[in-house]
A = this chain, B = another copy of it.
Amino acid sequence: MRHRLKDVAERAGVSVKTVSNVVNGYAHVRPDTRARVEEAIAALNYRPNLSARNLRKGRTGIIALAVPELDIPYFAELARHVVTAAADLGWTVLIDQTGGGREQERVVASGITDHLIDGLIFSPLALTADDLINLDGTPMVLLGERVAHGPADHVVIDNVAAAREITNHLVGLGRRRIAAIGSQRTPEGASARLRLDGYRSALEEAGFGYDEALVAPAPVWHRADGAAAMRNLLSSGVRPDAVFCFNDTLALGALRALHETGLRVPEDVAVAGFDGIEDGRFSVPTLTTIAPDKERIARLAVELLANRIDGDRNAAPRELAAPYRLEPRESTRGRQP
């Protein structure tokens, strides 16, 4: 059923290697030989066996993208861009769901690299730098929060500055009791910590001081957690006039909870998110957010990985920053149209 170089070679009356040369576009093949071989390839519907090619060449042409969860819109959108950017360089992307636990991530970081993969783009939640020291040399690019000066390339956005900017935006609207949703005390919460830092420093700059009671934790960042955290805030008696949610899904949950409580957004409470997911353009009200340039992030990551794979594997780790934009929408408007 499945044909090999040998079958094609026999049909075309040439050696196996000549067929291989034709398949790989080697220049020095006589036109008529090439034509005969191509005819045979077409007739037999020959397709190269990638396992064999990979074994021989030591390359697979596959890179992996590991994200915590695919059905978090931010990661789905990111995945889309990574797949596109990788395709431009002739790579196939194998997408891996880690679930976000430290143990699972460690498995991915060390195990997935089973010679199947030329490189790994990794968006870790829980991983620490220590988990990365023993890698067996598979090139890797980390996304998102930097694993404290770890041994791998990074693409980051400046979380602290971005969080400060969106908090300032709320301050600029005249809001005075600005809550935050999404803080995490666990070691996994690198993003949470950075965003909290930005929030805090903006508040202090504005002279408001930092009020622990206005900060609601959220162990994971799904819609349901945002809704629950919002309800907790409200029932705890604090009366925020704005909320900065550490990601958009939390914010969508918070919007929902506010709606259920009968509070109006933005009139009673302004809401801001983080991630710039597509949902936020269509929610009621539309969601103010920090939108990282996901396409840029994906392209930078793929390029860093390409350099690492083709170039010097022992070069010092590089860290690139991707831009982001504050996108003000209805959820923080002074008045609605």
Which residues of chain A have a CB within 8 Å of any CB of chain B?
1-2, 45, 47-52, 54-55, 60, 62, 69-71, 73, 76-77, 79-80, 83-84, 92-97, 111, 113-116, 134, 136-137, 223-224, 227, 252-253, 255-256, 259, 278-279, 281-284, 286
Contact = CB atoms under 8 A, between A and B. Distances in A.
Given A51-B60, A116-B50, A255-B284, A71 B73 contact: yes
B97 A94 contact: no
A98 to B, nearest CB: 10
Nearest to A87: B97
A96 B114 CA distance: 21
Contact of A55 (B2, B55, B113, B284): B55
Q: Which 3 A-B pairs have the closest CB atoms?
A: A51-B54, A95-B95, A49-B115
B70 A137 contact: no
A252 B282 contact: yes
A38 B226 CA distance: 47
A58 to B, nearest CB: 9
B76 A2 contact: no
A33 B37 CA distance: 51
6 contacts: A1-B136, A50-B115, A50-B116, A70-B80, A83-B95, A223-B282
Contact of A282 (B48, B92, B116, B256): B256
Contacts of A79: 70-71, 95
Given A223-B281, A223-B282, A73 B70 contact: no
A55 B54 CA distance: 9
B51 A115 contact: yes
